[in-house]
Amino acid sequence: MTTLDDLMKLPGAMAAFEFRGSGEVLEQRIAYPDRINESTLDLLAHMCAANLSIATMQARGWEKVTGMEGFYPIQEFTLIGFDWSVVVSGLQREHYKQAGKFSLPPFMGVVLANESADYEAAFGILERKEPVP
């Protein structure tokens, strides 16, 4: 069972996907293709890659400017839309970096219907520490 399959078990899960830092989708699961199709998911993944990068820069700058800690590294970025939200994370990559690996796993994301979205449950799956090979 992959992390994508686990994400699709979340309440209201509409899609789950893996993507590169440059935004290309590598793997996907889509539950409601009439709402979220491959084309939508491709643009969404590019948006999420950009948002994670900007948020990472802001967290880094914020910690330096204020002296506060606990913002960096970003664990997840969540965009709350009108009907659904998308939660994305690159935290697994941090685990690989800490293990001294240069080849990093992809970013991951899940689209959740707002009515039943459990953001904390999504964070829990995305923050799960997978063994580093």
Partner 1 sequence: MSIVTDLLAKPGVIAAGEYAYRGDRFSHRGALSEDHARVASIMCRATTMSVNMEASMLEALQPLSGLLPPRGWLVHGPGYTVCVVANVFCLLDNSKGSINDLVGFMRQALPAVPADMI
List the one residue out of 70, 65, 72 whose CA is nearest residue 91: 72
Adjacency order of strands within the sheet including 25-30: 25-30, 13-19, 107-113, 84-89
| Helix (H/G/I), strand (E/B), else coil: 50 | helix
Determine which residue in the list 54, 97, 128, 132 makes contact with partner 1, applying CB under 8 A: 54
Q: Least distance to partner 1 from the beta carbon of 18, Å? A: 19
Determine which residue in the list 20, 23, 28, 59 makes contact with partner 1, applying CB under 8 A: 59
20/35 with CB nearer partner 1: 35
Q: How far apart are CA 109 and CA 12, in angstroms?
A: 14
Q: Tell me which residues touch partner 1 (CB under 8 A).
A: 35-37, 39-40, 43-44, 47, 50-51, 54-55, 58-59, 62, 65-66, 68-84, 114, 117-120, 123
